[in-house]
Each structure stands twice: as structure tokens, then as C-alpha cells.
């Protein structure tokens, strides 16, 4: 099994770049790059992986190739990776007092998760919600909801069939993986980059181009706070 650091170093050396040269191309310090190559902090955030792939002119898959599904880092919110070809397991209960099937789920692009869709006025989950998942112990947002991935724009980070948990009560930050709802009706899983006048919505899959949207065009932008690769 490989690690992100091993892959990063291998691809860098294949490109004939020194640590200093790659660090400069990525806009980071050489010490930070050295930490990534030595796997000191585990798997970096998605934005870092994308930046490394662009600087090395390689695919994200090249940097995630062969990573053990149980591989987990320390200190980032994106630790843990689903191996290539591995089916995403369903959520299981954790012994923390949370109820089973406590979080409602929608399919990517299917519905705009407004509060009235899932919850009664008193905050209880509506009984007619058919698709639910159990609440992981570290998800505390009472209005969190699930999104089942359908498209491949975020592959290989999020593959079709994976289940994510999104927090409407958490403000989106630059570099977050988010579920975005545009006022024109589109609903997208993307990586959000804050730019003057709005946001640049990026895909992990290089086959999809980045897209600029004005702040006024966004109905909601909710960060992904939990998945099998975010432990």
C-alpha cells in the first residue's frame, strides 16, 4: 500500500523537480512540502491535493493511487480515503446516544434541502422521510442532512454512490468541499474557492472545468462535514 507522501515524492522525482521547485510552484514553503512527503500530518485537504496535481501536471488519481482505505492522517479534516474500486459502506450507529436513522438524505441534484422539507416546526424529523442514515458521533449540527453522490465531477475524491453529510449551520470557507444550490435551480457538489465578486466552483475530476458564480447567484452553500474519507 502507498501513502500520499510516497506518491507525491514519486511523481515529483519523475518530473525532475526538487522539493524547493515544487514548493515554489505550489506557493508553499519547502518545509510544508517536506511534511507532506513524510506523511507527518496524513492526507492533506482536497484543495492541497488539487494544487499539487496541477503543479505536477498529473491527475489526482496519481497522487491517491494505492492508498490503503484505512490510511488516516492527523490534523486535517479530510483524513481517510476510499480505495479505488471499493464500494462505499453504509453508515453504522455509534454508541453515543444518537438515534438510528437520525439524518435525512437526498440524492445529489434532487432536492433543495430547505428546513421544511425534512423537519417539523418543532425540529423533529418528519415521519414521511423515507431515506435516512445514522448520525456519526462527531456530527453535532441538528439540521445536518445527507447527500448521495450521483455524478463523477468530484471523482476520485467522492465517487457515485458515496454518502456525505452536509451542515447548513456551518459557514462555507475558502477551499471547503460543499453542496451548492444556485438560484437557477442547479445543485452541485464542488470545491469552493473564494474570489473577488463571488466563488470559483472547482471539480476534483479534471474533465470538468472550473466555474465562476457571483455571490448573488448562490442560494445556499453548505460544507461537507462528514464522509468515509473524513474521519
Query: Is 95 within a domain?
Result: no
Q: Which residue has the higher pLDDT, 72 or 209?
A: 209
Cα 93 to its chain centre, rounded Å, is 22
Query: Is 231 within a domain?
Result: no
Q: How far apart are the first and last CA of the chain?
A: 19
In this structure, the answer to whether residues 139 and 28 fall within a common structural domain is no
Digit-coded pLDDT (tens) for 2-20? 888 999 999 999 999 999 9
Number of domains present in the structure of the chain = 2
Query: Is 69 within a domain?
Result: no
| pLDDT, mean of residues 45-62 | 84
In this structure, the answer to whether residues 47 and 123 fall within a common structural domain is no
- The whole-number pLDDT of residue 22 equals 93
Q: Across the chain, what does the average pLDDT equal?
A: 78
Query: Is 98 within a domain?
Result: no
Q: pLDDT band at residue 96, thresholds of 50, 70 and 90?
A: very low
| pLDDT, mean of residues 177-185 | 90
| pLDDT, mean of residues 143-155 | 89
- The whole-number pLDDT of residue 20 equals 92
Digit-coded pLDDT (tens) for 74-85? 333 333 333 333
In this structure, the answer to whether residues 108 and 218 fall within a common structural domain is yes
In this structure, the answer to whether residues 52 and 107 fall within a common structural domain is no
In this structure, the answer to whether residues 194 and 123 fall within a common structural domain is yes
| pLDDT, mean of residues 149-162 | 88
Is 0.85 topped by the overall pTM? no
Q: pLDDT band at residue 107, thresholds of 50, 70 and 90?
A: confident
Query: Is 96 within a domain?
Result: no
In this structure, the answer to whether residues 118 and 222 fall within a common structural domain is yes
Query: Is 92 within a domain?
Result: no
Residue 149 sits in which domain range? 103-226
| pLDDT, mean of residues 203-222 | 92
In this structure, the answer to whether residues 28 and 133 fall within a common structural domain is no
Instruction: Give the domain CATH number at 141.
Output: 2.10.109.10
| pLDDT, mean of residues 211-219 | 94
Q: Which long-range contacts (CB under 8 A, 24 or more apart) does 174-177 make?
A: 175/45, 175/46, 175/47, 176/223, 176/224, 177/46, 177/78, 177/223, 177/224
In this structure, the answer to whether residues 34 and 120 fall within a common structural domain is no
- Mind spelling out the 3-state secondary structure of the chain? CECHHHHHHHHHHHCCCCHHHHHHHHCCCHHHHHHHHCCCCCCCCHHHHHHHHHHHCCCHHHHHCCECCCCCCCCCCCCCCCCCCCCCCCCCCCCCCCCCCCEEEEECCCCCCCHHHHECCCCCECCCCCCEECCCCCCCCCCCEEEECCCCCCCCCCCCCCEEEECCCCCCCCCCEEEEEECCCCEEEEEEEEECCEEEEECCCCCCCCEEEEHHHEEEEEEEEEECCEC
CA angle, 19 as apex, 17 and 21 as ends, to 5°? 55
Cα 31 to its chain centre, rounded Å, is 25
In this structure, the answer to whether residues 135 and 209 fall within a common structural domain is yes
| pLDDT, mean of residues 52-63 | 88
| pLDDT, mean of residues 190-217 | 94
In this structure, the answer to whether residues 16 and 113 fall within a common structural domain is no
Instruction: Give the domain CATH number at 28.
Output: 1.10.260.40
Query: Is 71 within a domain?
Result: no
In this structure, the answer to whether residues 109 and 207 fall within a common structural domain is yes
Query: Is 94 within a domain?
Result: no
| pLDDT, mean of residues 206-223 | 93
In this structure, the answer to whether residues 152 and 51 fall within a common structural domain is no
Q: pLDDT band at residue 230, thresholds of 50, 70 and 90?
A: low
- The whole-number pLDDT of residue 200 equals 96
- pLDDT over threshold 70, residue 71: no
- The whole-number pLDDT of residue 98 equals 47
Amino acid at each position: 500500500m502507498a501513502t500520499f507522501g510516497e506518491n507525491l515524492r514519486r511523481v515529483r522525482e519523475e518530473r525532475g523537480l526538487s522539493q524547493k521547485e515544487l514548493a515554489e510552484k505550489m506557493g508553499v514553503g519547502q518545509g510544508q512540502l517536506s511534511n507532506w512527503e513524510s506523511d507527518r500530518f496524513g492526507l492533506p485537504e482536497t484543495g492541497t491535493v488539487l494544487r499539487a496535481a496541477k503543479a505536477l501536471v498529473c491527475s489526482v488519481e496519481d497522487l491517491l493511487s494505492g492508498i490503503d482505505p484505512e490510511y488516516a492522517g492527523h490534523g486535517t479534516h479530510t483524513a481517510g480515503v476510499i480505495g479505488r474500486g471499493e464500494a462505499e459502506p453504509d453508515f453504522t450507529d455509534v454508541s453515543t446516544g444518537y438515534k438510528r436513522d437520525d439524518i435525512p438524505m437526498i440524492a445529489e441534484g434532487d432536492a433543495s434541502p430547505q428546513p421544511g422539507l425534512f423537519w417539523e416546526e418543532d425540529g423533529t424529523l418528519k415521519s414521511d422521510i423515507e431515506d435516512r442514515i445514522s448520525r456519526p458521533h462527531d456530527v453535532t449540527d441538528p439540521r445536518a442532512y445527507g447527500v448521495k453522490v450521483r455524478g463523477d465531477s468530484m471523482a476520485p475524491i467522492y465517487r457515485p454512490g458515496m454518502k456525505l453529510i452536509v451542515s447548513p449551520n456551518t459557514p462555507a470557507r475558502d477551499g471547503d468541499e460543499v453542496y451548492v444550490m444556485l438560484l437557477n435551480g442547479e445543485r452541485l457538489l464542488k470545491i469552493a474557492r473564494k474570489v473577488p465578486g463571488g466563488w470559483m466552483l472547482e471539480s476534483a475530476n479534471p474533465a470538468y472545468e472550473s466555474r465562476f458564480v457571483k455571490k448573488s447567484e448562490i442560494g445556499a452553500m453548505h460544507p461537507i462535514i462528514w464522509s468515509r474519507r473524513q474521519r
